[in-house]
Amino acid sequence: MIGSWQQPSLYSSTTKTTSEMDRARVYLVTGGCGFIGEKIVELLCQEDYIKEVRAFDSVVREEVEKFTTATTHVTVMKGDIRDYNLLLAAMQGVHVVIHTAAILEYRNTVPFLEMRAVNVGGTENVLRACCALNIQYVVYTGSIAAVGPNTSCEPMFRGNEDTKYSGEVELPYGKTKAMAEKLVFEANGKKLSNGGKLRTCIIRPNTVYGEKATFLQELYLLAKARNGVLDYLEPENTERNYTYVGNVAWMHVLAAKNLQLKPDLLAGQVYYSYDDTPTSKSFLIRHELLSSMDPSVRLGSHIPYWKMWLMIQLHRIIKVILYPFWKPPPFIDLPLLNTIVTTFSYETDKASRHFGYKPLFTWKESKHRTAQWLKAAVGNLELPQPHEKKN
């Protein structure tokens, strides 16, 4: 038992002011030691109305506790969101839950049933525990993958939260996130035993970059193995949003605060994450992020769809023939390839209109912070030599 449960004080449906808020808020961040979750914990600790932040994660990183300040204490708690009883104990006395925990997997290395058990079953456990403990506020980290692209590879060009887009999503990960988002939407407005209502909203990021974005580290090592050349799969007219992790986290912090202050406005809403990172060709953004750290990284050429399609088929054949004697490394599959080459972008200011969101970090600052981390991350690694590119 973490502590004795206290009834949250914010359950009125009327709009409140900051001065009316209980300045002893207790937040729980599932996935609080993860890429986005850790940054959320860090920013929450800078808010004077929060007494404690609990980082609940299956992989514990004790350095997250160092975000503790004079007014806000961080508690790191090891646990799996599939374990309802453990989650229930961790949520005792909590006022607000920010639910980021999920298996984010694009290369078909995690069985779908396992991914669904975490992303959907875990979300169900979080909502169930909130109802059991009369916790009224949940901010959920969704994903643009829950919307599309669909299996017909229909593009969305600079849409917004109200853009109509239908069809079955392409990625298995997206399927689980769509199911979880549906649970969060359906839970909104559910009556609690203390007379209040469960209030939920969703933050829906696209591609998130920044410190500890391992995909950038992998891309850099891949480029260095090819004499510093960074090839790309997207056609040159493809668009996809990139958002800095610090700004994604800040949007969560503001949404959680204003969900309590203005529940009638935010509850049941979805917000796409955004900042001033250019909405342009994805490969140009990746190149700029890598070359800002290492100017020797050069933009290469476009790899045609047909060539990658043949490579995927060849990989599948080799995997079948050699299994179980040899297990090849993870490789891109067709759903991921189709997602990469399909434009899926948006333009919106909904978060600004609803809860005053403005990015904490400019594109210049975001790029610099990412480059500094990347330089440190690869500094102690043995870089692959150019002759290794055949692998």
99 DSSP β-pair partners: 30, 140
Tokens, residue 247 = 């700004």
Catalytic-role residue among 11, 27, 106, 173: 173
Determine the Cα–Cα distance for residues 355 and 219; give it in Å rounded to an integer: 36
Residue 286: its H or E element? helix 282-293
SS3 of 357, please? coil
SS3 of 243, please? strand
DSSP for 100-161 reads: -------SS-S-HHHHHIIIIIHHHHHHHHHHHHT--EEEEE--GGGT--BTT---EEEE-T
Q: Are the beta carbons of 231 and 303 closer than 8 angstroms?
A: yes
Determine the Cα–Cα distance for residues 16 and 172; give it in Å rounded to an integer: 40
Which long-range CB contacts under 8 A does 162-168 form with residues at least 24 apart? 163/346
Whole-angstrom CA distances from 210 to 77, 241, 361, 366 are: 25, 14, 11, 7
Q: How many helices (H) and strands (E) does the chain have?
A: 13, 13
State the SS3 of 202-215.
Answer: EEECCEEECCCCHH
**Active-site annotation holds for 173:** yes
CB-based burial label for 17 (10 Å; 0-12, 13-18, 19+): exposed
Active site residues: 173
